[in-house]
Amino acid sequence: MKAGNTGRDILLGVAIGDALGVPVEFKDRGELQQNPVTGMRAYGSWRQPAGTWSDDSSLTFCLAETLCAGYDLSDLANRFINWKQHAYWTAHNNVFDIGNATNAAISALERKTSPLLSGGADEGSNGNGSLMRILPLLLYIKNKPVAERFAIVKEVSAVTHRHIRSVLACFIYLEFARHLLSGQKREEAWTMTQQEVTGFWADNGICPEAEKSWIAETWGCTLWPRDLVVSNGYVIRTLQAAVWCLFHTESYSEAVLAAVNLGADTDTTAAVAGGLAGLYYGWQTIPADWQYVLARRNDITALADKLSGIS
């Protein structure tokens, strides 16, 4: 495994990508092509100060904090509720963005629904709300057997997104991240992820026939031209876009700016890509001025240092 502070690689990687995307969320690709994002901006779509991160990072931090105390879905559920009700782990003490499926799931948790059943299980509940927050789980599961890794990913995704499509996307993402963490080059890591994931699913009958076409498409996304990359809020498209950005750039900053400038769901695409890029290049390579302006940076790094200790 790579030496260094993997907690910071993950949490700063996610949060800084998120914060770069917040001011231009919902802007289309053509508009950003005319006025591309090149660094931290203030205000914009949500009228927030520069360095402000969104629900993507808030829920990522909630998961990281739970893992630091010990794997406990009830604890995670309580932190999600606290975030929604009391702006816990927010940048400036307000919740300014929440996805529909995540909102519905946390409402179910508020009604004392089990965290294993709170997330939507219908096909329409496949936004990117579990993918965007799941990367800290890597440090908890990385040394466990593959069947146990999958079972835990399924549980953590299900808190907000229970459909098998979201679970499979989260698993691909974390398995790819696991290979990056081991020090493999991205090409080797992606090839190994494909081989191991498809082999495991085939041996255990995990992947439904209906899911196989998008998965096959995803394995080839690294070779797409930019025009084929879609960056909306659909979990499959977010996964593909994030992986594409890592493969078509050569630094953390290039990867997250490529993600933001794809347009549409800019904060989440950049958060998911930023997590991968943080692991691949290391948090020290993130531009210092971006780190300096990040809201609650000291709180984030303190949590990240604790998170590194669980691995």
Residue 56 assigned ligand-binding role: yes
Of 96, 88, 15, 103, the residue nearest 48 (C-alpha): 96
Q: What is the distance between the alpha carbons of residues 250 and 305, in angstroms, rounded to a whole number? A: 26
The single residue listed with the structure tokens 């932190």 is 79
268 marked as part of a ligand binding site: yes
Residues annotated within the binding site for Mg(2+) are 54-56, 265, 267-268
Residue list for the binding site: 54-56, 265, 267-268
